[in-house]
Chain A
Amino acid sequence: MRCDDVAKILPAAVEQGAAVELSVQRHIESCLRCQAELARYRRMLRGLQMLRTRYLEPAPGLLAQTLAAIEEAGERQAMRSILSGRRLAYAGAIGGAAVAATAATAVMLAHRSRRRTVLGGASSA
């Protein structure tokens, strides 16, 4: 095991609970350079974890803009649902009218056909 072999696996090996081969462990225990390198990675990871609670303050206005964007999206959504509701009502009305017109036509045709039959019967008599 050489130092450059260890250096290649240290970024993954530094993670807590990572399985590290015995040969690597033995090399690190006996190598000051690799111990220093491992310490650097550990220091780096510790620092990264600390960044989690280091908040970066946004410039003023972000909160107001975000809330306004949500408000606007909510209004658009409401408008869409109203429109789609109206569309449904329109479609229903048109469908109803079409059904009524078809029924009226059918009744009218049936009535005419009955009259023709009656008239035909009368003329033949």
Chain B
Amino acid sequence: MTTHEQPRERELDRFVVAARNGDRSAFDELVRRTYVDTYTLALRLTAHEEDARDVVQEAYLRAWRGLPRFRGDAQFSTWMYRITANTAYSSVKRRRRHRAEALDAMREDPVEMHPDLQPEGAAESSAMLDRLSLALEALPPKLRVLVVLKDVYGLSHEEIAEELGISVPAAKVRLHRGRKRLRDLLYEDEGHDGRWASAV
């Protein structure tokens, strides 16, 4: 967590306490303050706007019902990430077939939409982040979920495995594959393993 997030988390904690005591307006305030963050995660996980909206609603409903069980060991935002991840993963699994078709169509987008982008440029540049977002969307959903939760949101292997209902080794293997695929999507014009393996 960055330093500027700490006051925000402390403020959220106040609303969490009130909401746990049955204050609905406090929970509404929590939703108001976190829904863009939750939507961002949902959209990155599902790569589908309509699904992401459904995931956000479902995630907050689950959070509202589960609030009495939230003991405050973790931060509210981390707890919401886990609920969102779990909800989004169910959504991804339900619509996997449909998504696979959509992804085939999207796979060309990173190159076609930004033919002038050079990956050698600074990763921090806005253009590179656009390219990275598009490449993430083009990953198979099961791999994308791992990369987003681990590398974007910093969840541990254990937390991810628990929320997705998979083993920790399986989570590690998928993350490894996801990073490799993402690297290939981003830098495919710079050479594949095969190409430079044979050149060495």
Contacts and interface: CB of A to CB of B under 8 A. Distances in A.
B132 A69 contact: no
B179 A44 contact: yes
A11 B200 contact: no
B162 interface: no
B43 interface: yes
Interface string B71-112: 000000000000000000000000000000000000000000
A51 B132 contact: yes
Contact of B124 (A4, A7, A12, A46): A46
Nearest to B58: A69
A3 B200 contact: yes
A74 B24 contact: yes
A73 B65 CA distance: 9
Interface residues of A, number: 38
B44 A70 contact: no
Contact of B196 (A33, A45, A54): A33
Given A49-B152, A54-B129, A62-B56, A67 B179 contact: no
Chain A, interface SS category: helix
B152 A56 contact: no
Contacts of B64: 70, 73-74
B17 interface: no
A120 interface: no
Interface string A30-42: 0001000000110
Interface residues of B, number: 50
A59 B27 contact: no
Contacts of B200: 2-4, 33
Contacts of B136: 48, 51
Nearest to B24: A74
B186 A44 contact: yes
Interface string B9-48: 0000000000000001001100110011101100110000
Interface of B: 2, 24, 27-28, 31-32, 35-37, 39-40, 43-44, 49, 52-53, 56-57, 60-61, 64-65, 119, 123-124, 128-129, 132-133, 136, 147, 151-154, 172, 175-177, 179-180, 182-183, 186-187, 190, 193, 196-197, 200
25 contacts: A2-B200, A4-B197, A7-B196, A11-B175, A11-B177, A40-B187, A40-B190, A44-B123, A44-B132, A44-B179, A47-B129, A48-B152, A49-B151, A49-B154, A52-B153, A54-B129, A56-B43, A58-B39, A62-B53, A62-B56, A65-B53, A70-B28, A70-B60, A70-B61, A73-B65
The 10 closest A-B pairs by CB, nearest first: A4-B197, A43-B123, A11-B179, A48-B151, A47-B123, A58-B39, A3-B200, A56-B40, A47-B132, A7-B193
